[in-house]
Structure 1
Amino acid sequence: MDVIVRPTPKLNGEIGALSSKNYTTRYLLVAALAEGTSTIYYPAHSEDSDAMRRCIQDLGAVIEEDEEKAVITGFGKSPRDVKELNVGNAGAVLRFLMGVTALSKEVTFVNTYPDSLGKRPHDDLIETLGQLGVEVEHNEGRLPITIRGGHPKGGQLTVSGEVSSQYLSALLFLTPLLAEDSEITVTGDLKSKVVIGQTLEVLEQAGITIDAAEDYTFFRVPGGQSYEAKTYTVQGDYPGSAAVLAAAAVTQSHVTIRNLSEDSKQGERAIIDVLRKMEVPLTHENGNVHVEGNGTLKALEFDGDAATDAVLAMVAAAVFAEGTSRFYNVENLRYKECDRITDYLNELRKAGANVEERQAEIIVHGRPEGVEGGVEINAHYDHRVIMALTVVGLRAQQPIRIKDAHHVAKSYPQYFDHVRALGADVEWVK
């Protein structure tokens, strides 16, 4: 379905932040890898987290869930033999489970999104799985991918961090379960280091010991470990909230988002600092972010590597800032559900934004007077693009129509309900 976003000068109200998708998928996985029963309070429900639920159940985990919590009995080191796994369009879920299914005899990950996840490369992880003695059949590094494992062996491993940190996370979930100790050396410039911090945080909570170099270029992983069954509580999600905060920043607003911890390890927490640098009036106290938007923003420069999933929302805000903004060190945006630099900027131009791209940069020449709008936009099946384009539509002079906006459900199914509750003029259309 499509969404029509009409100009909306004012937003007002209060919402609770979505539960974190990143933490939910990690907690679901470590609970599945434990022998015993774990409890996860306030897990996220989205296409990505539901893909992890579905796949760990296929692999033998038992999940009982109510509105407050998920209770999971894990399969430990012995996933059930299955022929196929379908991760939908969830790249992180695919990569994490490519590691875990090295413990299985043979599993094929099918390709149900050939125009999105089906285009994304996984060569670096495939190469490292080969170092573990795992045979991988693939389509030039892309789906469908068949893992033939059963008896992976630890040892000296190298993995590239140039494209994605998810390859490293996959190894960090797997290697503690191997009989041998492992040493993992990361080559190249590791992307999204903050997200590795989230993985290590969850692993520590699950009773796993890993010795990590301060710069995350080297890891010592003792073998023969077991995941412990634990109780976890999922924190509020900064990546999804970034788009709502950006929407409040570009309008006349009185908006509060609850359950966003000040000391969260989510890199996208930087959206708070970015909006402050753009001179957006806001406070962040006791887990509540309150924005008193006046529609006036100043340009800035920002290193986006640590806040990858909030950059598109920051760019949407910068479209209306006074001056030229620059978002740099963001090349890994090109390797997401779509090319989040070229594809996103092409759609912004249709709406009237003045933007430029470099290989690893987005440059925004702000238009405080607003953009024309009045166009139909292709969001490329990408949830982050959909949310960011919605922000632009609120400040456009004419409505914009976002194609296939239902793909927002990948991470934030309630997104349009939430912005509509704040007063945004959005309408679903077929």
Structure 2
Amino acid sequence: MKAIVKPTPKLSGELQALSSKNYTTRYLLVAALAEGTSTVYYPAHSEDSDAIRRCIQDLGAVLEEDDEKIVIQGFGRHPKPVKELNVGNAGAVLRFLMSIAAFCPEVTFVNQYPDSLGKRPHDDLITALEQMNVKVGHQEGRLPITIHGGQPKGGKITVSGSISSQYLSSLLFMTPLLEEDSEITVTGDLKSKVVVGQTLEVLAQAGIRIEASDDLMHFVVPGRQQYAAREYIVQGDYPGSAAILAAAAVTESDIRVHRLLEESKQGERAVVDVLKAMDVPLTHADSIVHVQGNGKLKAGEFDGDEFTDGVLAMVAAAVFAEGTSRFYNVENLRYKECDRITDYLNELRKAGAQVEERQSEIIVHGRPEGVEGGVEINAHFDHRVIMALTVVGLRSKQGLTIQDAHHVAKSYPQYFDHLQALGAQVELIEE
């Protein structure tokens, strides 16, 4: 599908934020790891959340779903032996389940997206699992990956945090179920610590005890624990809302986005502070972000590791800011569905943006007068890139045509519907 994004000077209206993909994934996983019946209210619906639903069912969880909730009968420490698991293009689901698959005799994670997830490395998690009596077959750290499990063992474990925090989260979900106590030490510079905080929050809600150092680099995990069957309520999603808020910031707008908790532990909550720092007129109260954009933004410097999945949308806003913006500490963006630094910036340049890259930085020389657009661009099968490029298209002089725009369904299937409801001029063409 192609999305033809036309210049749109004004947006207005109200939206309910999507449910959080990150919390949905974690709640469904801990519910599956419990031996009773859990209920998850307001779960996210996207390709990624569908992947975790499908995989925990394959592993033996029983799910019943209606419009409001999912009721899950978990499998605890005893997933059903399966030969294959298909996680689609969901990197977090793959990494979380690689550890859980160690309780099975042999599981192969298949590769259906060789040009996206299939390119992403998982060596650091493989190395950690091999310390735990788990043999792993792989293609230089990439899919397809076969876990030869059955007898994983705890003890002293080291895992690198320099590429992704998902490796650490994976081990934190699995080690409480081991017979032995575990001691996990993180090496390198741990990326996305706020996301590890979400994992620890969910584990605590599920009754799991973990001692974590203040810097989140050392963990003591007692073994022989059991996940409690509980009720969970999924909060609104800041990463998906970031693009909507950026679109409001670069246009004349009057937009309210509901269900965005002020005290959320989602790192991407910081995008509200980023937009405030860019002088975007907005308020945040009663779980509502109200943006009254005037299209005028001021450049700034921001630590992108605090809001990883919101960086691309904020870069799109900075394209139209007065001055030069710098997003630093963002190297982990290179190891997502695509290289979200090089690939994304190449497309921004086609649209007329003035951007530079370093290994771990994105530098944006703002153009308050707007960009030319009028080109067809490649979103590299990446949902975050699609959403961010749409923001740029709305403010461009000739619009943008985005290839493979249907991949936005990975996290936000209703994205274009929501933008159109706010007045965005977007035409979708099936191919």
What's the TM-score once normalised by structure 1's chain length?
Answer: 1.00
| Residue 244 (structure 1) shift | 0.1
Distance in 1 of aligned mates of 2:127 and 2:399: 47
Query: What does residue 171 of structure 2 align with?
Result: 171
- 2:264 paired with 1:264: yes
| Residue 2 (structure 1) shift | 1.0
Amino acid at match of 2:84: E
Query: What does residue 254 of structure 1 align with?
Result: 254
Superposition misfits of 4+ residues, deviation over 3 angstroms? none
Amino acid at match of 1:16: Q
- 2:310 paired with 1:310: yes
SS at match of 1:355: strand
Query: What does residue 427 of structure 2 align with?
Result: 427
Distance in 2 of aligned mates of 1:91 and 1:282: 33
Q: Structure 1, residues 10-52: CA drift from partner, whole Å, max 9, x if none? A: 0000000000000000000000000010000000000101000
Amino acid at match of 2:195: V
Query: What does residue 236 of structure 1 align with?
Result: 236
1:89-104 maps to which residues of 2 (within 5 A)?
A: 89-104=89-104
CA-based RMSD of the aligned residues comes to 0.4
SS at match of 2:159: strand
1:29-40 maps to which residues of 2 (within 5 A)?
A: 29-40=29-40
Distance in 1 of aligned mates of 2:208 and 2:148: 25
1:311-330 maps to which residues of 2 (within 5 A)?
A: 311-330=311-330
Query: What does residue 205 of structure 1 align with?
Result: 205
User: How many positions carry a matched residue from both structures?
Assistant: 430
| Residue 365 (structure 1) shift | 0.2
Distance in 1 of aligned mates of 2:37 and 2:76: 11
Distance in 1 of aligned mates of 2:428 and 2:44: 23
Amino acid at match of 1:301: E
SS at match of 2:260: coil
Distance in 2 of aligned mates of 1:420 and 1:133: 52
1:380-399 maps to which residues of 2 (within 5 A)?
A: 380-399=380-399
Distance in 2 of aligned mates of 1:213 and 1:414: 39
Query: What does residue 245 of structure 1 align with?
Result: 245
Distance in 2 of aligned mates of 1:87 and 1:4: 30
Q: Structure 1, residues 135-164: CA drift from partner, whole Å, max 9, x if none? A: 000000000000000110000000000000
- 2:2 paired with 1:11: no
Distance in 1 of aligned mates of 2:287 and 2:300: 25
Query: What does residue 333 of structure 1 align with?
Result: 333
Query: What does residue 417 of structure 1 align with?
Result: 417
Distance in 2 of aligned mates of 1:259 and 1:345: 31
Q: Structure 1, residues 76-101: CA drift from partner, whole Å, max 9, x if none? A: 00000110000000000000000100
What's the TM-score once normalised by structure 2's chain length?
Answer: 1.00
SS at match of 2:321: coil
SS at match of 2:368: coil
| Residue 306 (structure 1) shift | 1.4
| Residue 399 (structure 1) shift | 1.9
Q: Which runs of 5+ in 1 are unaligned?
A: none
SS at match of 1:82: coil
Amino acid at match of 1:317: A
Distance in 2 of aligned mates of 1:258 and 1:4: 27
Q: Structure 1, residues 96-116: CA drift from partner, whole Å, max 9, x if none? A: 000100111000000000000
SS at match of 2:397: strand
Query: What does residue 286 of structure 1 align with?
Result: 286
Q: Structure 1, residues 181-221: CA drift from partner, whole Å, max 9, x if none? A: 00000000000000000000000000100000010000000
Distance in 1 of aligned mates of 2:357 and 2:399: 25
Distance in 2 of aligned mates of 1:426 and 1:66: 31
1:141-220 maps to which residues of 2 (within 5 A)?
A: 141-220=141-220
Query: What does residue 23 of structure 2 align with?
Result: 23
Distance in 2 of aligned mates of 1:57 and 1:30: 13
Distance in 2 of aligned mates of 1:83 and 1:377: 39
SS at match of 1:290: strand
1:401-416 maps to which residues of 2 (within 5 A)?
A: 401-416=401-416
Distance in 1 of aligned mates of 2:95 and 2:206: 20
Distance in 1 of aligned mates of 2:114 and 2:334: 17
Distance in 1 of aligned mates of 2:2 and 2:127: 40
| Residue 299 (structure 1) shift | 0.2
Q: Structure 1, residues 215-251: CA drift from partner, whole Å, max 9, x if none? A: 0000000000010100000000000000000000000
Query: What does residue 48 of structure 1 align with?
Result: 48
**What is the percent sequence identity of the aligned residues?**
78
Amino acid at match of 2:59: L
Distance in 2 of aligned mates of 1:99 and 1:428: 40
Distance in 1 of aligned mates of 2:142 and 2:64: 33
Q: Which runs of 5+ in 2 are unaligned?
A: none
SS at match of 2:248: helix
Q: Structure 1, residues 336-381: CA drift from partner, whole Å, max 9, x if none? A: 0000000000000000000000000000000000000000010000
Query: What does residue 349 of structure 1 align with?
Result: 349
